[in-house]
Amino acid sequence: MRRRGSGSRRTSKKPPSPSPSEGEMTSQHNAEGGNKIQSPSDNGSLTEISQDAVGKLLRRANKVGTSKKKTTVGLCNFPFLFNILFSSARTVEFVPEQNGTQVLEPIGPLNTSEVEHCSRSSIGKDPAEEKCGHVSLDEGYMDKKDELDDSDWEDGTVAMDDHSVTIELNVTPDSSELAELVHKAHLLCLLARGRLIDSACDDPLIQASLLSLLPAHLLQLSNVTKLTSKALRPLMSWFHDNFHVKNYTNGEKEPHFALASALELRVGGPEEIAALSVALFRALNLTARFVSILDVSPLKPDQSFRPIASGSSKGIFNTSTPMVSKKKLDFMSLKKPLSCEKEKLCETSLAHSLKSKKRIAPSNMDQSKDPSVAEDLNHSVTNFPISEAQHINPESHITDKSHKPKRKGDLEFEMQLEMALSVTAIGSSKIKEESGENADSSSFACPSKRIKRVVGEGSSTSPQLISTAVGSRRVGSPLYWAEVYCSEESLTGKWVHIDAVNLIIDGEDKVEAMVAACKASLRYVVAFAGQGAKDVTRRYCMKWYKIASQRVNSTWWDSVLAPLRNLESGATGGVVHSRTNQIISTEANMNDSFVPTRSSLEDIELETRALTEPLPTNQQAYKNHPLYALEKWLTRYQILHPKGPILGFCSGHPVYPRTCVQTVMTKQRWLREGLQVKPNEHPAKELKRPNKPQKVQDIEADDYDCTTDSKEHINLYGKWQVEPLNLPHAVNGIVPKNDRGQVDVWSEKCLPPGTVHLRFPRAYEVAKRLEIDSAPAMVGFEFKNGRAYPVHEGIVVCAQFKDVLLEAFAEEAERLKEEEKKRDEAQALRRWYQLLSSIVTRQRLNNRYNNNWTSEVPNDVHCINDNVSRATVCDSNDKNQTPRQHQTDKRDTDLDTSLSIPVKDHEHVFLKEYESFDMETSLLTKRCQCGFSVQVEEL
């Protein structure tokens, strides 16, 4: 089945729960299912921001849609945006039992996995790569779409291939705006997604299940008061032995349920495994965060968006393409001896709580045994058995420094093989698509692909190999990990990076290299805890200048994160968990004096990182670098002052701190800032004046050579060369004016002391009438026809006249209003007179030249007030002002005469009973007892 356009989409049935419209989104959602938002400040603002962004997006897309341009990129995502945001709020008070039922619904409300998938995989990709594969995805889309303007969706091309959606992306001329909106909305989605996972990590059931699996000696970690990263290694070894990353999806399951499934099967996607590690830490009363790279669609258009996420990371997210084939799983399982003990344990612990009927073959289960765990207690990560590690997790060998390759070819082949197995479903499907052959065979058949090794220089561990097939799609990129707060890790404690997927502990400085090796960038790294979030990109990104331009406007991002940061710091800052015995009370309730909190210490740490970024190696990076500058890349109006210190060199050019870069301006520009150049200051910089055709000025310049120099150069001055503007004071009510008899009011700062700027209209006339000295205020220039025209607005007067003038203006305004009213009334009278005169004239002419005038009288007689039951037709002054009248039943042959006879001493009375109304002509005929009648057109 292949559906295209909205026509066919309309036929799809709606999901059970109606989707709220844009405007009602928040309220409806909150009402639905009784789910409340925990923190109004949090979700309120977040939702508002989300709504705003999504609303803009919709409007923008609708606009583009109506202009017959394909902008499917935004359209596809809108419905998901709604849903993801709902999901975000929905999870705050999450009850596992309820969700179990939700998840089991065959087609429920669009869940976030679809959103995630689509947003990760759909945006900005080539049509051929666009596979968003979920039926409910399309249905959710349909549902929302129906509530929106149908017509605006016609241009989006969504073709369905069985269970997949093809999205075509065409770049529109104003796509930058759209790209930014999509970027923002996508960010919000991923934020919400992170909160979902974080919420799942707090699930007591999952935590309890994890604890039940944990060997007794590892349980002691919960009593450790002085935690170091080293102490976590046995735990991570055990975890890594027992939980495996697979190209496996938990389908459409809601995160809590997906986590539970992964826990039960001990196999899951990277996100699930990382989340389980977080849950485990939290179960052990450790302060832990779930950290995720928000792999968001590009901020700028025309940048292809290839999600970092490999298919393996989409465990929770459903994907369009089938996940790793059964064959692959079997292949993996064949390598791994099984241990069913854990599985049984797992089953018993979860069987009652989880209704999952899915069970992966036991072959996917654990292959490690308890004894090995015991042995590994004091084992470092790098001593992990090579073969086992490789088999357990293809990526785990990355961290293995002691691994000795047999032969280069063999190693490459093995790596390729394992990568192929661990690669995402999308990856495998892409291989199929691109090579047109079996994914397995394609990956196996290319052992000659070069292996790139990225050596990460770790602080705690030895250099690690990060491997990826060069030229192939990105695989193994870390997307999710945990951060555990280790109080003994440094003087003040430290958040320690723990990547359970790749078995890396305290490898924060390796993340960037690993991500870079996968041809990705970490633009946003966000840590989630306590339903909140905090941007910790600085911790992992050493080359901030590379990502700064790819990040959204920091003001917006900070405002989005502000409420989430509070939640996050509330959860991790001081008292960690209410159920914990390990109270780390570094927070406010210590005493009144300032106590540095974890959050504030981390802020300082991140800020320090921002200020100690290493010098870039390429010159262009200095162009807009926030910390460093090369003189070469300064702009026309920039200068180094002071010129030093030199922080280093780049390609022979000295590197200066950015703080030395000062902006220089002309005297005129400083004037606008309310500043003037100090006397006897030499220009800090001279610019060559552009060679404009000077016309007459050239001739003058020839005559006065002494002025040529200043004409040819623009003198620029720095901030240190200026002082506050010293304008002449207003004296004796006289406004100091310039040589043009006006005051240049670039800003309020430019007003001479003792004067005010009055902007009301006709101010000049009012001041003139009161004989108050004033000067026109020139507020700027308008450029028309290649010339500058001064723009005047209001006047400048001495401050003491302000009130007088304002009063006068008020009186003037009142007077003008009165005059205008009188003028209007006079004009109305004139027009009435004109109208009635013309009517009478017309009647007279008709009477004189056309005896059958009555039949031809147009029905254009308008009675202004048709509710009036009386009409006075006598007018002693002007008989011609009688309303147009005609007698139908008693016609005088000489109407002119009849009209000329004043109807004195009689006032026509039109009684209701004598009225008649002609429906056809809408004419109401009123009759007086005297026989006089008036026709009135009903308005």
The footprint of DNA (CB under 7 A) covers 300, 302, 470-471, 519, 549, 617-620, 623-624, 635-637, 651, 666, 668-669, 687, 690-693, 738, 740, 742, 744, 778, 781, 783-786, 788-790
Distance CA 63, CA 50 (A): 19
Q: Are 860 and 886 in contact (CB under 8 A)?
A: no
Rounded to a whole number of angstroms, the minimum distance from the CB of residue 419 to DNA is 16
**Given the complex with DNA, which of 337 and 728 has the nearer CB atom?**
728
Burial 453-467 (b: 16+ CB within 10 A, else e): ebebebebbeebbbb
Rounded to a whole number of angstroms, the minimum distance from the CB of residue 778 to DNA is 5
Rounded to a whole number of angstroms, the minimum distance from the CB of residue 10 to DNA is 37
Tokens standing for 92?
A: 């705050």
**Given the complex with DNA, which of 700 and 866 has the nearer CB atom?**
700
Residue 424 half-sphere exposure, CB side, CA atoms within 13 Å?
Answer: 32
Cis peptide before 645 (omega within 30 of 0): yes
Rounded to a whole number of angstroms, the minimum distance from the CB of residue 630 to DNA is 10
Q: Are 540 and 522 in contact (CB under 8 A)?
A: yes
**Given the complex with DNA, which of 140 and 427 has the nearer CB atom?**
427
**Given the complex with DNA, which of 713 and 844 has the nearer CB atom?**
713
Distance CA 898, CA 888 (A): 13
**Given the complex with DNA, which of 139 and 744 has the nearer CB atom?**
744
**Given the complex with DNA, which of 697 and 800 has the nearer CB atom?**
697
**Given the complex with DNA, which of 789 and 914 has the nearer CB atom?**
789
Q: Are 106 and 139 in contact (CB under 8 A)?
A: no
Between the CA of residue 893 and those of 59, 184, 552, 847, what are the distances in Å? Answer: 69, 83, 87, 8
Token pair 């015991």 is found at: 374
Rounded to a whole number of angstroms, the minimum distance from the CB of residue 526 to DNA is 24
Tokens standing for 873?
A: 């037709």
**Given the complex with DNA, which of 550 and 597 has the nearer CB atom?**
550
Rounded to a whole number of angstroms, the minimum distance from the CB of residue 745 to DNA is 10
Helices vs. strands in the chain: H and E counts, helices first: 32, 28
Those residues whose C-beta lies under 8 Å from the C-beta of residue 905, and which sit 6 or more positions away, are none
CA angle, 322 then 328 then 334, to 5°: 150
Rounded to a whole number of angstroms, the minimum distance from the CB of residue 174 to DNA is 10
**Given the complex with DNA, which of 128 and 470 has the nearer CB atom?**
470
Q: Are 234 and 507 in contact (CB under 8 A)?
A: no
Residue 33 half-sphere exposure, CB side, CA atoms within 13 Å?
Answer: 21
Between the CA of residue 288 and those of 295, 498, 579, what are the distances in Å? Answer: 22, 10, 15
**Given the complex with DNA, which of 635 and 876 has the nearer CB atom?**
635
Distance CA 452, CA 463 (A): 15
**Given the complex with DNA, which of 38 and 666 has the nearer CB atom?**
666
Those residues whose C-beta lies under 8 Å from the C-beta of residue 686, and which sit 6 or more positions away, are 713, 714, 715, 716
Please name every residue paired with 789 in a beta bridge, in sequence order, or none if there are none: 782
Q: Strand, coil or helix: what is 128?
A: helix
**Given the complex with DNA, which of 788 and 829 has the nearer CB atom?**
788
The DSSP line for 696-729 is HHHHHHHH-GGGHHHHHEEEEB-GGGEEE--PPP
Quote the strand ranges of 147-249, DSSP E.
Answer: 158-161, 164-167, 244-245
Report the chain's C-alpha Rg in angstroms: 40
**Given the complex with DNA, which of 618 and 897 has the nearer CB atom?**
618
Residue 307 half-sphere exposure, CB side, CA atoms within 13 Å?
Answer: 29
**Given the complex with DNA, which of 158 and 451 has the nearer CB atom?**
451
Distance CA 619, CA 541 (A): 19
Distance CA 863, CA 871 (A): 10
Rounded to a whole number of angstroms, the minimum distance from the CB of residue 434 to DNA is 15
Rounded to a whole number of angstroms, the minimum distance from the CB of residue 738 to DNA is 6
**Given the complex with DNA, which of 669 and 802 has the nearer CB atom?**
669
Helices 270-283 and 204-213: angle between axes, nearest 10 degrees:
80
903 membership: H or E segment, kind and range:
none
**Given the complex with DNA, which of 344 and 636 has the nearer CB atom?**
636
- What's 20's DSSP letter? P
Q: Give how far the C-alpha of residue 61 lies from the chain's centroid of Cα atoms, to the nearest Å.
A: 15
Conformation bin of residue 680: beta by default, left when phi > 0, alpha when psi is -120 to 50: left
Rounded to a whole number of angstroms, the minimum distance from the CB of residue 652 to DNA is 9
Residue 819: burial class (beta carbons within 10 Å; 0-12, 13-18, 19+)? exposed
CA angle, 186 then 304 then 271, to 5°: 50
**Given the complex with DNA, which of 785 and 852 has the nearer CB atom?**
785
Rounded to a whole number of angstroms, the minimum distance from the CB of residue 608 to DNA is 25
Rounded to a whole number of angstroms, the minimum distance from the CB of residue 798 to DNA is 21
Those residues whose C-beta lies under 8 Å from the C-beta of residue 385, and which sit 6 or more positions away, are none
Rounded to a whole number of angstroms, the minimum distance from the CB of residue 789 to DNA is 7
Rounded to a whole number of angstroms, the minimum distance from the CB of residue 737 to DNA is 11
Rounded to a whole number of angstroms, the minimum distance from the CB of residue 452 to DNA is 8
Rounded to a whole number of angstroms, the minimum distance from the CB of residue 560 to DNA is 22
Token pair 């990353």 is found at: 245
Those residues whose C-beta lies under 8 Å from the C-beta of residue 334, and which sit 6 or more positions away, are 363
- How many residues can be counted in the chain? 939
Rounded to a whole number of angstroms, the minimum distance from the CB of residue 781 to DNA is 4
